[in-house]
Amino acid sequence: MRSYNLFCLKGLDGLVCAVPEDYAVPAFVTEARWAFGGKLDGSSPEPTGFDGAAAATAVRFNGFYLFQNVASAQG
């Protein structure tokens, strides 16, 4: 499995930007709007809403993967 850095949008529970470790963080992910949410590297369970196949496709085209962490959004 590919390793991702996860960034959570401040003020909107559950929106996460997953960026592969070996990719540059997109310019829209700024400290003012996003908080580092940890790493996803296969050693811990995937967040609810993360889809590995969708992530691979999104990264191929965009360099990042946006998803809704349903567990976080429900509180």
Q: In this structure, how many other beta carbons lie within 10 angstroms of the beta carbon of residue 47?
A: 20
- What residue ranges do the domains of the chain occupy? 4-74
pLDDT 10s digits, 4-45:
999 999 987 889 999 999 999 999 999 999 999 999 998 888
C-alpha 5 chain-centroid distance = 7
pTM listed for this prediction: 0.90
The torsion angles phi and psi of 5, rounded to 5 degrees, stand at -95, 135
Q: What are 62's two structure tokens? A: 């965009």
Helix and strand numbers, DSSP H then E, in the chain:
2, 4
pLDDT of 75 above 60: no
CA-based end-to-end distance of the chain: 28
Q: In this structure, how many other beta carbons lie within 10 angstroms of the beta carbon of residue 12?
A: 10
